Structures are given as structure tokens and as C-alpha cells.
Structure 1
Amino acid sequence: MRVVIVGGGFAGYHAAETLLRTLGDRAEIVVLNPTDYFLYLPLLPEVGTGIVDPRHVSVSIPDTLRGVRLVLGTAASVDFDAREVGYTDPEDQERTLSYDRLILAAGSVNKLLPIPGVAEHAHGFRGLPEALYLRDHVTRQIELAAATDDPAERDARCNFVVVGAGYTGTEVAAQGPAFTSALARRHPELAGQPIRWQLLDIADRVLPELDPRLGATADQVLRERGVEVRMKTSVDRADAEGVTLTTGDSVPTRTLVWCVGVRPDPLVAHLGLETVRGRLVVTPELTVPGRTDVFACGDAAAVPDLTRPGETTPMTAQHAQRQGKLAGRNVAASLGTGRPRRYRHRDLGFAVDLGARAGAANPLHVPLAGRAARLVTRAYHLFSLPGNRLRTAADWAFEAASHRQTVQLGLVRAGAVPLDTASPELPRTR
């Protein structure tokens, strides 16, 4: 009996963990994933600003899920009648993988909007390569700014624009000024040079998905750090020299960070199954209608929100993790162990790390700010990390006691990590 899990993110990883604990060696559990690690996405902003080592947010699947078989590859198709998943391995060989039960947890990729120049010139922030690339790119911009005698070029290279005031964008914009200040201190040529960070969003406030009090706290922290918060504003077009905003303003910049949200993995659109807003339709038990051997969860699935009739659960790590666990339990139930259950969640609150002893959180709907919020946020992250907890805590301790490392890693050469993760082409760097 073989259970194949497509995806090793929050949903897929926790589905495999649950199945391993529930079924043990009574079934072969296979995870099909492009990488050999589970990426803890909430800490990517700290990777991108040089606080946390990238290896510490990359949890090894073979090491932490002993007994689970890892198959490296990217799913391309599913033959539901033959019970086979078609995939491409890391060496571009097309292969197939048979299954008795299938869990589709392919996750999501960057959301692209039809804005001229964005796909070519913006930097995404959805994976480890993107975070590391952005770290190198920002470092290089500061160094190139120090090397030029052209004031206009220097201003443009010292201007950083972040689009999207959700979790990721807010954390990137909040942590960015400290990072660039640390970089600039190494260059006497930049003494007195303004370094601008701008946060844009079409919403009317920061963190629109959270309690207004938490959004107000984040907004205050951003402004205190000199971030220019521009709500009801976005990018109208972008090019190699900067961006034009929807207000008509022209902003010279070499750095456009795209954090506007995510869309389901492109695999979903090619399965021939019913979708809602690009996500797979599933029952409250996470099964695909008409396919009792196929389950779906996480960002790729439109899971009914039983607490809000007629709506689906949002695409968050918290939901993906819980749905993955339930998918694992329900697959085990379909094989004779336990009984199936419906997905019903209880909101435990949210936490946003704003860096420099600041945060915004509402654990169990108790609003917190400042150091207390940051303590709760970091405790939550350590609890949620399935591995590398001590190493991550050590990174935070070193950052508090010393200065962050600001050396380039050599990732910025002739190519960049594309915003469109489905694109095979690598754009030229600026």
C-alpha cells in the first residue's frame, strides 16, 4: 500500500508526519518534492536580512521523517484512472509514480499581476533562493551606491520599494532599514546618504487581514524606523530604472520586492478537476469529490470554512499545517485506522516579527505589541519549527549580542531568481 504526497511544504510535511505516526510501516509513505527540505516560510524575512542562517529554516525531510521515502521531482500531471503521478526529476527526466492514496499538497507560488515590467524587474520572496538572492542584491546595491560619484544613481540604489503590506511585505520592510544601515556603516562614502524604504499596498492599512490594532502597531513601528508607508498605492509599471506608481509618481530604484500574495501551484490548473479561484474543490474531509482515493489540502485546496458557511479557508501556514495533519489522519482512516473527520479550525491568533525588539501579535485574541509580542512570536516559531530549533535560537542570540554578517554570497551574477517561479528563463540582473 503506497501513499504519495505531492509537496513537502506545511501541508505535505505534516501529512507525512501524521501518516508515519499513525500507520508506521503498514504503508509506504512517499513525499514528492523539488527539494529535500521543508522550508519554514515565516522566517524567510530574517534569512533575507542576514539574521538567520538559511540552513536553519530548511528542515531536512529524510532526517526528520525517518521512514518516509523522499522522491526529488516536480509533479507535472496525474492520471487518476491509472493512479499515477507524472513528474520531472532534477535532471529533467520524466518519470511516473504509482499510488494507492494521493495527497495533493503542492502549495503555492508568487502571484503575478498584469503590470508591465513587474515579472522582469521585481524580486519575489517565496523561496529560499529568492530570499538569498535578495540579500545579495541589496548588499550589492549599497556597495554600488558607495562606488558611484553620480548622486542620482546613488539615490536610486539606496531606494528600496516593497509591494504588499501583508505578513511578508511588512516584515521585509520592517527589518530592511536595520540591514541596509549595517551595510552602509561599512562605507564612509555613504555618510549622510538617505536610505529609503517604501511599503506600498492597495489596501487602506497595513496588515489588512489582521485586527486593526495589530495593523496600527505595525504601521507605527514602520514609520518610527523611517519606512514610507503608502497605502491605497501600488505599481503601475516598472523598468530597469525604477517604477511608476498608480498615483503617477516616478520612483527611481533598482530594488522592487514583490510580496502581493500567492496563487496555487500551476499543477492544479492541469489536473482537470473542479476549482474555485484556482484552488481544488474538496469536501470538509479533504477528499476530492468523486475520488475517494485523492485528498487535497493547504494552499492548493479550497477547503470549506465550516465556521463561515459559504467561504473557504485562507491560504496561510496555520491552515496548511492543520489541514495536512487532518489529511494524514483521514488517509489512515480510509485504510482502516481511525475514522474520518471534517476540517474545523479554531483561530489561535497571529504573530508578526518586526525585528529590533518589536512585534505585533494576538495569541488567543489577546493583542500584544513591542517586546512582549516579539517574545511570543519567536516562541511560536520555535514551537512550530520541526527541527533546527537550537540553531535558530542561537542565530537570534548572536544577532542580539553582535552584528549581523553582511558579506555577499556570490548569487548575483548574470542571472536572477525570477519572480515567475514557473518561468524557465532567468532575467539579467541590474
Structure 2
Amino acid sequence: MPKRILIVGGGYVGLYTALRLQRGLRPGEAEVTVVNPENYMVYRPLLPEVASGTLEPRHAVVPLRAVLRKARFVSGALTGLDTVRATATVRPMAGPELELDYDELVLAVGATSKLLPVPGLAEHGIGFNSLAEAAHLRDHVLRQLEIASATPDPKLRRSALTFVFVGGGYTGVEAIAELQDMAVDVLEGYPEIDRSEMRWVLVEAMDRILGTVSADLAELATTELTARGIDIRTGTLLESAENRVMQLSDGTKLPADTLVWVAGTRPQPILGELGLPVDERGRLVVDDTMRVDGHANIWSAGDCAAVPDPEKGGTCPPTAQHAVRQAQQLGENLLLTLRGRAGKPFRYNSRGEFVTLGKNKAVGEVLGHKVDGVLAWTLRRAYYATQIPTWNRTVRVLGDWAVGMPFGHDVVNFGSREEPRGAFRQAAETK
């Protein structure tokens, strides 16, 4: 009888583990089921370019059903786990809960935004972890420009043109850089607005931005952003966002209609409810083969697992590079386990890193060599275009970039898609 492999999560770890199994399983050796709330995987390194409009949102995702043709896909969310019966409970999009049996279980549920008890944050902030958030922010920034261009009220203009980002890691830096670059590029279409009226503020609690990259690379990024007029506040906290007034720990008060919270992530809360060992950060405790401690048939990797890092000590950083390699090794270890052999420990040493800072702008480090400007931007795009799963997606991404190269950003706000029935309701009310 074929073994039953259940993969919960369709992000990097879920998708790449399933792909490795799809390539390596022998006929009849195992049945693979993948569970994820959405039927696609978001390729997160491309979210900043979705936000700036240089990439179509649908091209930054990988359709799970299309690429995992040898696996069963269930659209739903994990709600419970019985490790004695080896059964997972899943809530589908509609209908009663499902019980899915497994012989081997992979928990790859990823992470969610790590919110702090800041007054007004939940009401006025937005994250930058999903496709919807990235697409919304592009429309939102353009909408703020429209508001500012149409009103003579100085307070309203000031609030509309102030954009505050909290969190100076990869995500925060890339998000503010891409969106500011887009806003500046489209200002030609807003003659009522002077560039000096826009205020872009990056708030970071640590003493420098990009704390997980080398100090030299972070300094390159800081110099570039500062030269473009982005106000970087290090060693600073957001204390309140009530009434859309951003109160910073340095005493500054900024009326702002835009607050983007990118100050870290935390594992999905469901992990703490499963009865499995977790560390102080809520991540599953795993060994170097990515088996959950005390459970020979449960595995985990990526953002939701504390995978040991043999190269630098401690645990692996939550980067796409590490998640992809962990998933590939996890898939290999599952194949070895099915065939009665021992799994291999995870080992990976980063080959480099890139930080996009807008069109034709980036900084990076490749095999110990630092690059910036157009070269870094080109190398970054080439790397990610070849890394996104399936040639179908690679061609679509390259096509978007090639078409957009000679032109500027579009000044089109699709904010109405967030209220798709608005016009219909208005027509019904005025009949």
C-alpha cells in the first residue's frame, strides 16, 4: 500500500518539498496531498515589484494545481492534529472539516506579521506579506497622490503625502524603496504636487537598517535611500498610530494616512496548539534533518521551524534561499526514509544577497563581491527570474520586465477592485 505524505502549507517549503517528491517518487511508492488556503504559492522576493507596478500580480505566483499534477491538492487550513492516530484536521473553504490520515507529515505553514501592542496599529496599519497587500499598497499610494492633487487643504495634503514604514529589514527597505521610486516617477502626471511635499519615513528599532546583511551592504543601501530623500530613523520605535498620527519614540509626530508595518514575522499561532515542541519564538523544534523533536514522522522547515545552522551556529535565517534549500533536502530525506535509509543533515552557505531599491537601483553581494546600481539590479532580476518555479512563470516575469524597461510606471489606480460591487450597489440605490 502506498505511503501517505501530507504537506500542510504551499509556500516555499511546501511547494519545493512536493516538487522534489514529484520528481523522485517511484510509481505506487507514495501518495502526496498538499493543503493550503490559497491554490497558489507567492514568490515573495517579487512582491516589491508587484507593489511598484513593474510586475503583474498574477506573474508573481505559482499555481499549485498546475505544477503539482501528481499530488492531490486541498484548499483549506489546518485546525488540529492527532499525533497518536496520525490524523490532521483541515477546514476547507466550505463545508465540514476533513480528517486527513498520514504516514509522514510536513508542517510548512510559514509565518504571519508580528504585531506589537501599539495603539492605533491594528486600525490604521497594513502589512507587506501577501499579494493582496502589495497590490493594495500600489493603488493606495496612487490614491494618496490623487487626494493631494485635488485638495487645497494643507493638512490633508500633508497627511496624504506622508508615508511611514516601520521595520528596516529586507521587506521594509525594498517596499519603501520601490514605492517611493514609483511615486517620484509618476509625479510628472501630477503637476499640482512638488516632490518636496512627499515625505517617506523608514523607522527601525535597531542602530542600522538591514541588520541581517553585512554592514557595508547596509551602508550602501542607506546612502542610496538617503540621497533620494527617504528619512531613515534608526534606534526609533513607533509608540502610537492613533487618529492617524504617528508618534515616534524620538518625539516626532507625523500625521500620515499610510502606515506600513514590516517589523518582523512570527510563526502561525496554530503551531502552539498542536502539542508539538516549540521554541521561545513559537517555531517548531527540529533536528538537523528537519524532523520535529520526539516525532519520527513529522517534519518542518522554513519560517515556522528552528532549523539548526551548522555554518554560523544558532538557527537558519528566515530567507527564501534557505527555505528553498531546506525544502529540497527535506524532500530528499522523505525519499530516503520511505526506502529505509537515514536522512541527511541540512547544510547551506549563502552565495550572496540582493536588495532592490527601485528601477535600475539595487545593492548586492555575490560570492564576497559587493555590487550596486544597474549591475546589482540586473543580477538580481536574472537570479530571481531563473529561480521562480516553472519556465512558464520565468517567461512571464521576463516579459513583464522587458515590456516595462523603456517606459515609466503606470498612473492607474485600481483601488475600486477592493469594492467590486460598489458601482452595482450605487446603481441599485439610485434606480
TM norm structure 2: 0.92
Pick from 294, 298, 304: which aligns with 1:290?
294
- Who is 2:425 aligned against? none
Instruction: Verify: 1:406 aligned to 2:411, yes or no.
Output: yes
- Who is 2:210 aligned against? 207
Check conservation: 1:32, 1:72, Cα contact below 8 A: yes
Task: Report SS of the residue matched to 1:287.
Answer: coil
Aligned-partner residue type, residue 298 of structure 1: G
Counterpart Cα distance in 1 of 2:181 and 2:373:
17
Could you list the per-position Cα deviations for residues 244-291 of structure 1 after superposition, in whole angstroms to 9, with x for gaps in the alignment? Answer: 001111001000011111100112111111111210011111111221
Counterpart Cα distance in 2 of 1:249 and 1:296:
43
Instruction: Verify: 1:157 aligned to 2:160, yes or no.
Output: yes
Give the drift of 1:94.
1.9
Task: Report SS of the residue matched to 1:87.
Answer: strand
Check conservation: 2:13, 2:323, Cα contact below 8 A: yes
Counterpart Cα distance in 1 of 2:174 and 2:256:
20
Could you list the per-position Cα deviations for residues 292-324 of structure 1 after superposition, in whole angstroms to 9, with x for gaps in the alignment? Answer: 111111111111122244x11121111111111
Could you list the per-position Cα deviations for residues 84-127 of structure 1 after superposition, in whole angstroms to 9, with x for gaps in the alignment? Answer: 11111112642221111100111111111121111221110001
Give the drift of 1:413.
4.5
Question: How has the CA–CA distance of structure 1 residues 202 and 68 changed in structure 2, closer, same or farther, with 3 Å as cutoff?
Answer: same
- Who is 1:299 aligned against? 303
Aligned-partner residue type, residue 289 of structure 1: D
Aligned-partner residue type, residue 285 of structure 2: V
Aligned residue pairs total: 414
- Who is 1:7 aligned against? 9
Equivalent positions of 1:249-268 (< 5 A) are 249-268=252-271
Could you list the per-position Cα deviations for residues 201-245 of structure 1 after superposition, in whole angstroms to 9, with x for gaps in the alignment? Answer: 011112111011110111111112111111111211102332100
Instruction: Verify: 1:395 aligned to 2:397, yes or no.
Output: no
Counterpart Cα distance in 2 of 1:373 and 1:203:
25
Check conservation: 2:119, 2:241, Cα contact below 8 A: yes
Aligned-partner residue type, residue 386 of structure 1: P
Pick from 358, 362, 371: which aligns with 1:355?
358
Question: How has the CA–CA distance of structure 1 residues 339 and 181 changed in structure 2, closer, same or farther, with 3 Å as cutoff?
Answer: same
Counterpart Cα distance in 2 of 1:358 and 1:192:
19
- Who is 1:75 aligned against? 78
Q: Which of structure 1's runs of 4+ aligned residues deviate more than 6 A? A: none
Pick from 14, 22, 25: which aligns with 2:24?
22
Check conservation: 2:5, 2:102, Cα contact below 8 A: yes
Pick from 316, 321, 339: which aligns with 1:336?
339
TM norm structure 1: 0.92
Check conservation: 1:87, 1:96, Cα contact below 8 A: yes
Check conservation: 1:109, 1:264, Cα contact below 8 A: yes
- Who is 2:318 aligned against? 315
Check conservation: 2:187, 2:195, Cα contact below 8 A: no
For structure 2, which runs of at least 5 residues remain unmatched after alignment? 422-431
What is the CA RMSD across the aligned residues, in angstroms? 1.8
Counterpart Cα distance in 1 of 2:278 and 2:172:
28
Task: Report SS of the residue matched to 1:275.
Answer: coil
Give the drift of 1:338.
5.8
- Who is 1:270 aligned against? 273
Give the drift of 1:402.
1.3
Counterpart Cα distance in 2 of 1:350 and 1:28:
36
For structure 1, which runs of at least 5 residues remain unmatched after alignment? 416-430
Give the drift of 1:383.
1.8
Counterpart Cα distance in 1 of 2:176 and 2:206:
16
Identity percentage over the alignment?
Answer: 37
Counterpart Cα distance in 2 of 1:163 and 1:328:
36
Q: Which moved more, 1:404-413 or 1:118-127?
A: 404-413
Counterpart Cα distance in 1 of 2:340 and 2:353:
33
